[in-house]
């Protein structure tokens, strides 16, 4: 498999896994008024990372590709923000930290793609 295809597959799978892990994580959170609203935003932004990566992969132009990748980066940053705002139980903190780290890594990956595409 060519390196670009392998990288594409890895990011397809990685962004999907991130969104799925977020969905599973939020199922166990305390149900309070702030978490309810934050969870809605978090689920949207984490799912949007992968959805926009798929759109970027199918882009019709270089300009469209860069715009979609920038949206991926923005949504990954936003996901980290919402994860930091959540109220979670002590036993959920390790999982939250892992998701924050993954969101930061995805942000860096998409930032690097933007820089290399200029």
Average confidence (pLDDT) over 84-113: 96
- Confidence bin at 2 (pLDDT 50/70/90): very low
pTM: 0.89
Helix or strand run (H / E) with residue 12? helix 3-26
Position 9 scores a pLDDT of 53
Position 3 scores a pLDDT of 47
Average confidence (pLDDT) over 17-28: 97
Residue 27: C-alpha distances to residues 8, 18, 23, 39, 63 (Å): 29, 15, 7, 9, 38
Position 1 scores a pLDDT of 41
Read off the DSSP letter of residue 2: -
59 vs 53: CA distance, rounded Å: 10
Hey, what domains does the chain have and what are their CATH numbers? 48-118 (1.20.1440.60)
- Confidence bin at 52 (pLDDT 50/70/90): very high
E-strand spans in 12-104?
none
48 vs 30: CA distance, rounded Å: 24
């Amino acid at each position: 498999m060519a390196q670009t295809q392998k990288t594409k597959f890895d990011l397809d799978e990685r962004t999907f896994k991130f969104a799925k892990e977020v969905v599973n994580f939020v199922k166990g959170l305390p149900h309070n008024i702030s978490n309810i609203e934050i969870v809605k935003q978090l689920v949207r932004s984490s799912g949007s990372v992968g959805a926009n990566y798929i759109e970027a992969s199918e882009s019709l132009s270089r300009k469209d590709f860069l715009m979609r990748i920038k949206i991926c980066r923005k949504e990954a940053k936003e996901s980290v923000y919402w994860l930091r705002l959540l109220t979670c139980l002590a036993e959920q903190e390790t999982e939250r930290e892992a998701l924050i780290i993954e969101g930061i890594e995805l942000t860096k990956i998409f930032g690097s793609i933007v820089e290399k595409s200029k």
